[in-house]
């Protein structure tokens, strides 16, 4: 049997895991690596990307920065979450605010050092990213439109860190040669940005009571639920633009199946949106968008599934060689 002290320690570890949203971090790491292999640097061998130590450092630094971002967001939202997420809030409160800040500064310090190991440009990039996350959590998120836009942008920024890593050596003259590739990247980023922006606006509807009690100036509070739903509808319809570009103009392999499925789901999403008027219904819509985003991460491999097949063959060859040495 565990002692009372041991049980409390386990609960605090679980609480900290909840605060940093540890369940999101592996998905973020996977998303960055799959994006690097299939979207950002498809001309490079998958194995060389996976074995790139500097890239590993950048991905790890991004993960630590995002985890610290969740902490500072939780720190400033502690009162609001008591209303919006009472069960999670009670779990999160097992870790003191002082401990949260200590972990926050520690993670940011480690992330900055790791970025400096790669280059001074990476250090400046992550320093600015850390500051933006703090400023968003402290001030910007309380305001309509700019808060939503900033939240969606902050979620996309880590992917641009990897893009800059791969293309920081090319000159302005060479950019012309990569124009079509950058267009594909921009279309992917735009689709993700729009989904994230819609999700942020759904969260505003879902968290209406807590936001109102804590003097947040969100779109549904300032302009009403109908205006908010109209804005969400327009943004959802706009996702058709990057999807059309990716499917009809450029080649995304079998990932077009994902995009077609997304459009079908989003049609039903909009129909349900206009029937929704409770926190539970908005939470369901929020979860649908999360599912689409996570599914999108795994479906990146559909751009070129042969990469996985070649990777499997390589692993089997390495395994056979290792057994032969024994």
Task: Assign residue 256 the CATH number of its domain.
Answer: 1.20.120.1780
Question: Is there a domain that residue 2 lies in?
Answer: no
Residue 261 lies in a domain: yes
pLDDT over 60 (residue 317) = no
CB-based contacts of 42, cutoff 8 Å, min separation 6: 181, 303, 304
Identify whether 30 is part of a domain.
yes
Whether 315 is covered by a domain: the verdict is no
Q: What's the pLDDT tens digit per position in 144-202?
A: 999 999 999 999 999 999 998 888 766 666 666 777 888 899 999 999 999 999 999 99
Please report the pLDDT score of residue 9 as a whole number: 75
How large is the average pLDDT for residues 50-55? 93
DSSP for 57-105? HHHHHHHHHHHHHHHHHHHHTHHHHHHH-HHHHHHHTTS-HHHHHHHHH
pLDDT score recorded for residue 171:
64
Give the residue from 223, 208, 267, 226 showing the smallest Cα distance to 243: 267
Write out the residue range of the structural domain in which residue 37 sits. Answer: 8-167
Inter-CA distances, 77 with 89, 198, 222, Å? 10, 21, 20
pLDDT at site 314: 52
Over residues 47-62, the mean pLDDT reads: 93
Query: Could you tell me what percent of the chain has a pLDDT over 70?
Result: 91
The most confident of 8-12, 46-50, 221-225, by mean pLDDT? 221-225
What pLDDT is stored for residue 86 in this prediction?
79
Answer whether residue 313 is part of any domain.
no
Q: Residues 38, 301: contact at Cβ < 8 Å?
A: yes
- Final residue before a domain boundary, out of 167, 194, 221: 167
Cα 205 off chain centre by: 20
Does 184 lie in the same domain as 159?
A: no
Q: At residue 267, does pLDDT exceed 90?
A: yes
Q: Kindly report, residue by residue over 192-235, the tens digit of the pLDDT.
A: 999 999 999 999 999 988 888 888 899 999 999 999 999 999 99
User: Is residue 104 exposed (0-12), middle (13-18) or buried (19+ Cβ within 10 Å)?
Assistant: buried
Average pLDDT for residues 109-137, to the nearest whole number?
A: 95
Top-confidence residue, 312 or 292:
292
Same domain, 215 and 293: yes
Other Cβ atoms within 10 Å of 324 Cβ, number: 7
Q: How many domains does the chain have?
A: 2
SS3 107: helix
pLDDT of residue 308: 67
Contact 120, 59 (CB under 8 A): no
**Residue at which a domain ends, from 135, 167, 199:** 167
- The HSE-up count of residue 6 (CA atoms within 13 Å, CB side) is 3
* CA distance linking residue 279 with residue 307, whole number of Å: 43
313, pLDDT greater than 60 = no
Q: Determine the Cα–Cα distance for residues 53 and 314; give it in Å rounded to an integer.
A: 20
């Amino acid at each position: 049997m565990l002692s009372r002290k041991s049980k409390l320690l386990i609960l605090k570890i679980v609480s900290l895991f909840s605060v940093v949203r540890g369940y999101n971090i592996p998905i973020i790491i996977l998303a960055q690596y799959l994006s690097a292999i299939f979207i950002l640097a498809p001309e490079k061998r998958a194995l060389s990307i996976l074995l790139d130590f500097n890239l590993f450092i950048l991905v790890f630094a991004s993960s630590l920065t995002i985890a610290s971002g969740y902490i500072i967001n939780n720190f400033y939202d502690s009162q609001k979450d008591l209303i919006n997420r009472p069960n999670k809030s009670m779990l999160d409160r097992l870790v003191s605010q002082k401990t949260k800040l200590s972990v926050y500064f520690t993670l940011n310090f480690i992330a900055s050092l790791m970025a400096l190991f790669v280059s001074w440009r990476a250090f400046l990039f992550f320093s600015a990213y850390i500051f933006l996350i703090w400023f968003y959590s402290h001030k910007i998120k309380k305001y309509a439109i700019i808060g939503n836009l900033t939240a969606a942008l902050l979620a996309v920024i880590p992917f641009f860190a990897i893009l800059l890593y791969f293309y920081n050596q090319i000159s302005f003259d060479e950019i012309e040669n990569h124009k079509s590739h950058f267009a594909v990247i921009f279309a992917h980023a735009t689709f993700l940005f729009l989904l994230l922006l819609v999700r942020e606006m759904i969260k505003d509807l879902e968290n209406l009571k807590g936001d109102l009690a804590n003097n947040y100036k969100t779109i549904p509070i300032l302009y009403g639920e109908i205006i908010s739903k109209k804005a969400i509808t327009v943004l959802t319809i706009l996702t058709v633009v990057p999807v059309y570009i990716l499917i009809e103009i450029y080649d995304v392999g079998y990932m077009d199946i994902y995009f077609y499925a997304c459009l079908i789901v989003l049609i039903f999403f909009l129909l349900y949106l206009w029937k929704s008027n409770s926190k539970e219904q908005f939470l369901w819509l929020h979860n649908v968008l999360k599912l689409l985003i996570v599914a999108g991460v795994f479906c990146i491999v559909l751009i070129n599934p042969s990469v996985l097949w070649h990777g499997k063959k390589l692993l089997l060859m390495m395994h056979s060689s290792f057994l032969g040495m024994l």
